[in-house]
Structure 1
Amino acid sequence: MTNLITILLVDDEKSIRDGLKLLLPWEEYGFHIMGEAENGLDALEKIKEQQPDIVITDLIMPELDGLKLSNIIQRQYPEIHFLVLSSFDDFPYVSQSFKNGAVDYLLKPTLTKESLLTSLTQLSHQITKTEKKLSEQDLLSQQLNRLLAGYSDTNYDGLTTYFKEDNHYILYTNLLWYHTKEQVIQTLESSLFNNMLPYLIEKNEYGIIFSSSLPYSEIKLKVAEKLHSLRMVEPTTFFVLSSPIREINELKEKLHQLKSEAKEQRFYFKQHTFITEEDFLSLTSTEQFDTKKYLRSLLDNDYQLGLTRIEDYFNDVIIDLPKPTVLRQQASSIFYTLFSTLIDAYDKKDDLQQLKQEFLFTVGQLIYLEDFSIFILSMIERINIAINTKEVGITHENELLHNITRYIEHHYASDLSLAMLAETFHFSYSYLSSFFSHHFNTNFSDYLNTVRLKAAKELLLTSDLNLSEIANQCGYSDLSYFSRQFKKYYGSSPSKYRRENQL
C-alpha cells in the first residue's frame, strides 16, 4: 500500500463522498482513499495530518470553498494536486483560478468512471514526474515555509546543513505595498547570495532567507544595490533586512517581529527603499492631548483657538515619533469632535460635512509621516477658510441664549455669579461677559438684578409676604439694598408700589 497514490475526498454531501468511494476499485488502479472531509476547514486539518497526494474536492462548500482551499494548500503544500468537482458549468472561472498544472476539473453531472480514472491517471503521471524533478532546493523551500508557518512536525536538519554559514538573515517585504508583485518576486529570487531560499508563508508575506560569512556592512551594501533598480518601477518599495540570526529555529520569531514592526517603521521612511533592523526608530505612544482645554475652546466658540491647539499638538507630538496607528486614531478623534461642533454651529453645513467625510476617509489611508503632516496642516487651513467665510448661524446662538436665561430664571434666588454661570455652562468668564453685553446690552449683574426685581414685583402684587421675606426669596440678603434697587428700577419703594397697585 505504501506505493499507492493517496487521496482525500472533500464534499459537504455524504452521499457524494460515498458514491465516489464506490465508483472505482481504487486500489486496483494504484490509488488509496486515505480519508474524507465534509468542508474546506475540515479538509485543512486532514491535509495537515495526512498529506495526501491528491485532493478531490467539491467547488461550492460552506465554511471554505474548493477554490480557497486549493489556494491555501498550494502555498503550503505545492506538491499536492487537486481534482475539482462541481455541479456548475463554469469553466472560465475555474480555468482562471487554477492556472497551475496540478489541478483538473470535472462536472458532477457528466462524471463517469472512465472520465474520473482518466483525470486521476494524468495527475498520477504528474506526481511521478514532479517527484523525479524536485531538486534539493525545492524540498528545502517547502521545509522552510512549513517552519515559518509554525508546523511543529517540521524537521529542519536539511536547512541547518544548507545554511552553512554562522549568520542567517531575513529580507522581508509585504506584497500589499506594490502594484507589480511579479517584479518584486523576480527581484528577490534573482541570486543575491549562494545559500538563499525564498519564502511565501502567507498570501502577502514574502522575502528571502540567506546565510553569509560577509560582514554585515557588506551585506547591507549588496542588498541595497540589488534593490535600487526596483524603485524605478515600484517607487513605494520597502524592504527590511534583519539583524544576524544565529539559529535556524529563531527564524520564525524574527520574521514575526519584522512583520509587526515593518509597517509602522515604513511610515517614517518615505524616501527609503531599504532599511535594516538597526535603523528601526523607537516609536512611542502619543503625548496625551489636552482634551479639557480643547473642548473649552470649542464650547467658548473660539474655533481659532481650537485649531491652534490642534496644530501645536501635532507639531509637538510628531517629534516624539509616535506609533502611526495611534497617531491616526488620535487625529480622527480630535477632528471628528471639531467637525461635529462646527456643523452644529453653522447654518451652511455642506462644505463642513464634505470636509469631515474627506478627512475621515483620507487620514486612515496615509502611509507616510510627510504626507500625514501636510494633510493635517492643509485641513486646518481649509477649515479656517470655511468658518471665516460664513456667518455664524443663529441656531447655536439661540439655543445657548435660551439655556442661559432659563437657568437664571430658576436660580436667581441663589448666590448666583457670572463665574458660577461660566463654570456651569463650560465657558470662559470673559466669553460669557461678552455674551451678555452683545445679547442684552448690559452686564451680567444688571441682567440678574432685573430678573430678581421682576420676581419681587410679582410677589408684591400676588402674595402676603412681608418685604424681608420677598427680598430673601428674590436673592437679596439686605432689605435696604433691595429697596434702593427696586426704587431705582420702578421709581417707587416696594411698600409704596404694593399699596398703589395691589388689588
Structure 2
Amino acid sequence: MYKVLLVDDESWNRDIVRTFGSWEELDMEIAGEAEDGREALRLIGELAPHIVITDMSMPGADGVMLMNAVHERFPEVKMIVVSGYDDFKYAQNAIRYGAVDYLLKPIDPKELNAVLGKCRKELEAASQGQSAYALDIDVSMWLSSYKQLMRVHFNELNAEGVSSVLEGIGKELEPGGTPMPGALRQAGSEMLLLLKELMRGNGLAEDALKAEIPHAALNSAGSITAYLKELYEASLEQLIGQRKFKNKLNLEEVRQYIDGHFAEAVTLEGLARAFFVSKEYLSKVFKLEYGCNVTDYILGLRMDKAREWLADENIPIKTVAELAGYEDVGYFYRVFKKHFGVAPGEMRRQKAGLKMSNPEG
C-alpha cells in the first residue's frame, strides 16, 4: 500500500480529500494528517509516506516551507499541491521544488484521482529504475481552460468543438519554435487522462486506450495533436453510436445528466445535441414532465446546493460560488439574492444566529 499524508489547517478540506480519493482502488491509504508544515515534517519522518497532499496557505509553517524542506530532506516523496486561484502565484515558486501536480480549489474528485493515479505510476516507475518527467506548472495552468472546454464539447457530442480544442492546444505547444519534449509529453498525458475520465463518465470502456503515448506521437506539436484527435474522435463516434441506438428520449437520463453536470456550462442547445432531439422538443417535454424549463431546473439545483454549502461556515463564499458553477462571485451574489431574497452572507449570518439561539437544534 502507498501511504499518503494530508496537510491542511482546515479539517473540512482534509475531509474532502479523504472522501473523494479512491484509496483502495489505487492501492493507497491515508497514513496520517497534519495541520501545518512543522507537524507534517515530523510525521513524514515517523510515517515515511510516499505521497504528501498539502495546502499552500496555512498559518505558521506553510506549504512553501514544507515543500522546501521535503525537497531537501525527503526528495523521494511525491508532493501534490492544493491552492486557490488567489494563491497561484504564491504556489508557483514552491512547485519548482518538484511537485508532481497541483489541484485548484474546489477540488474535483476526478482530477484528484487522476493525479493520485499519476503519482502511483511515477512511484512504480521509480521502483523499476525508470525515469519520470517533472511537471511544468505553466503547461498545466494553460491546459486547465482547454480541459474545461473539452468536457463541455465532448459531453455534448460537439465534434467540431472537440477538434477546435485540440488544435488550440497544438498552437499553444508550438507558438513559433520547437517545444520542449516534456511539454509535449505532459500535455498529451493530461489530455489522455481527461479522455479516460470522459469515457468513464459516459459509460464507455476505456480498455482500448493505451496507458502511455507512443514515442512517434511526441515528435512535434502536430503529431501529438493528430494522435489525440484520433483517440477523441473514435471515442466520440462510440458515444454517438451508443446514444443513437436508443430510439426514444429518456427524460430521466437527461435529468440525471443535468444533476451530475449542473456546475458546468450546461445549456439547452448542448443537451439537445447530446440526446439527438431539437431544443424546442426537449424544452417542451422537459417542462411537461418536471414542471419547469431546463434553465430554471439548473438554476434551482445550483441555488439549493449553494444554500447547503453556505450552512458550513468554514467554506468561504467564494468557494461556494465556484462549487455551484459561478466563476464571477459578483454575479453569484446577484443571482443568489434574486432567487432567495437575501444575499449569501446575510443567509449565513441568519443561520449562524439560529444556531446560537438554539444550540441543541
The two structures have a TM-score, normalised by structure 2, of 0.34
Compare relative contact order (CA 8 Å, sep 6+) and give the higher one, 1 or 2.
2
The two structures have a TM-score, normalised by structure 1, of 0.25
Of the two, which has the highest radius of gyration?
1
